[in-house]
Each structure stands twice: as structure tokens, then as C-alpha cells.
């Protein structure tokens, strides 16, 4: 004779099924739905008109960018404000970034220790010096050290106290990128742009140690240095299929796209 469970036993079995199986599955479904919802929200850029008005810029799209952005000027150079999805955990965060088309003699990166991201690690960069708030790495540690001493370290600390969110700054031969791990509202976005202008003034005021310059000119294909770290070409260089710019393989892997101004291709020859 087949055993028949009582209604109480069925209820208990259903409870434990939901507890041990239903909840994890529901959580996974929630995370997947949230991820695609955030991606769609960023790709549509419905929030950008209000930000463009606050920044005095215009909403635009470009094939070299994965998302729409606000085009504006910072320190006399072309700049772009955009948001992107910072993945790496079930609860993804949105980062707000300002990219300025100005270049430096080498690669420098400052990553908040509170960030979910790790500092860049490749054969071209080394740690500049230990610091309790940030990780500092650069292709030219002595140059980066002078920048920090000339006020960049204080600037980064002020920025993190202002936004109370993790910060990352990158200086490369092709661009400056400053981002905050937050979906900044229009007023906060305007504050980030003002701080970016302050950064440009700081870097220009540092003199020869900074070497910051506007880099809107076209790429010279005869150049023999990597546009990310500006070190000399090596046998392991990869070439951008769109503009033929040579990159170190690990530098291309880190940026995920061509570092040449106005290109941004993700294809290699």
C-alpha cells in the first residue's frame, strides 16, 4: 500500500523546498533581470538630457563608444560624460565617468582601495608607492611620484571625501579618465566636471613633470610606441584593425579597445 503524506507533511516539505531551492533560484532570476534592466537603461541614455543641461553639453552617440554620452569641453579639450555598468557581483553598481582628450607622457592609475576593481597589473606598470587610501601604479614611477607630490594626492583625497564613493583616475598618452562608482545626479555630475577642470589645471601647473597636452590630432601610424603606456614597441604588439595603431598585448587586454583618440575599435589585425 502506497504511503500518503498528510497535509501538514506536504506543507512542511513545500516550506523546505522553497527555503533550500526556491530562494536561490529566485535570487538568480532577480540578479539576471536586474543586470539586463540596468544595461538597457544605460544604453538608452534616457537620463542624459538632464545631465547635458546641467553640464552645458549635448547628448551624442559614436560607434567607438558602447553607450550614449554627453559631449562637452573641459580645460579647452574635448570631453565626454557617460555612465557604465561596473560588474563583478550580483549587485552591480553604476559608475559615472568623465573622459578628457588630453595626454600624458606615460600611464598612471590611482584606484581607491574601497573599489571593487583591482589596480592594473601588466609587465609595463609598477607600483609607485604604498598609500592607505589608494593603489598607485605607473609606467613611469618617478614621474608619477612627482605628480602626487605636486598636489595630485591631495586632489584624490578631496574627491573621495566630496563624493563619498570609490574613485579611479587614469592618465594615458591618449586620454584622462576620472570616474566615481555612483550613478551621479545632474548636480553631482556638474561637480565632477568642475573637479575634472581643477585636475587639468593641476596637471598643467605641474610643469614638465606632467607633460599634459591636448591630443585631438590624428594618430601617426609611424609612431613606434604603445598609446597606453607609451613604451617602445615589442615583438608582442597587436595592431588595431581600424587605425593600425600598435599596442602591447597586455595593454590592449587591459583597455579592451584601441586607445587612440576617436578610434576605440575592439578589433585587432
pLDDT of residue 242: 64
Beta strands at 134-138 and 213-214: parallel, antiparallel or unpaired: unpaired
Nearest to 183 by CA among 82, 87, 34, 36: 82
Give the orientation angle of helix 48-55 with respect to helix 186-205, to 10 degrees. Answer: 50
> Please, which contacts does 184-190 make with residues 24 or more away whose CB atoms are closer than 8 Å?
184/96, 186/50, 186/51, 186/53, 186/54, 186/55, 187/54, 188/96, 188/163, 189/51, 189/54, 189/55, 189/81, 189/96, 190/54, 190/55
Average pLDDT in the 215-242 region? 62
Gap between the Cα atoms of 101 and 62, Å rounded? 15
**pTM of the full predicted structure?**
0.70
Average pLDDT in the 198-214 region? 68
Gap between the Cα atoms of 216 and 237, Å rounded? 24
Query: Can you give the residue ranges of every domain in the chain?
Result: 7-44, 47-213, 218-269
Gap between the Cα atoms of 82 and 180, Å rounded? 11
Tens of pLDDT, residue by residue over 102-137, are 877 788 999 998 887 888 777 778 888 888 888 999
Amino acid at each position: 500500500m502506497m504511503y500518503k503524506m498528510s497535509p501538514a507533511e506536504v506543507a512542511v516539505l513545500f516550506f523546505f523546498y522553497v527555503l533550500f531551492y526556491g530562494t536561490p533560484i529566485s535570487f538568480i532570476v532577480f540578479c539576471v533581470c536586474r543586470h539586463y534592466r540596468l544595461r538597457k537603461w544605460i544604453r538608452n541614455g534616457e537620463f542624459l538630457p538632464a545631465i547635458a543641461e546641467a553640464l552645458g553639453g549635448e547628448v551624442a552617440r559614436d560607434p567607438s563608444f558602447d553607450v550614449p554620452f554627453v559631449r562637452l569641453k573641459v580645460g579647452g579639450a574635448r570631453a565626454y560624460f557617460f555612465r557604465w555598468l561596473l560588474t563583478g557581483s550580483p549587485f552591480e553598481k553604476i559608475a559615472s565617468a568623465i573622459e578628457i582628450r588630453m595626454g600624458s607622457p606615460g600611464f598612471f592609475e590611482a584606484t581607491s582601495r574601497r573599489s571593487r576593481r583591482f589596480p592594473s597589473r601588466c609587465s609595463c606598470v609598477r607600483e609607485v608607492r604604498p598609500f592607505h587610501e589608494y593603489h598607485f601604479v605607473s609606467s613611469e614611477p618617478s614621474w608619477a611620484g612627482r605628480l602626487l607630490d605636486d598636489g595630485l594626492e591631495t586632489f584624490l583625497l578631496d574627491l573621495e571625501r566630496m563624493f563619498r564613493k570609490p574613485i579611479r583616475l587614469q592618465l594615458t598618452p591618449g586620454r584622462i579618465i576620472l570616474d566615481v562608482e555612483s550613478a551621479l545626479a545632474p548636480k553631482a555630475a556638474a561637480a565632477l566636471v568642475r573637479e575634472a577642470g581643477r585636475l587639468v589645471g593641476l596637471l598643467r601647473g605641474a610643469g614638465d613633470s606632467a607633460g599634459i597636452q591636448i591630443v585631438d590630432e590624428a594618430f601617426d601610424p609611424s609612431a613606434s610606441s604603445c598609446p597606453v603606456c607609451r613604451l617602445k614597441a615589442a615583438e608582442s604588439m597587436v595592431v588595431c584593425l581600424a587605425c593600425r595603431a600598435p599596442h602591447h598585448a597586455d595593454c590592449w587586454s587591459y583597455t579592451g579597445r584601441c586607445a587612440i583618440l576617436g578610434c576605440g575599435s575592439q578589433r585587432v589585425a
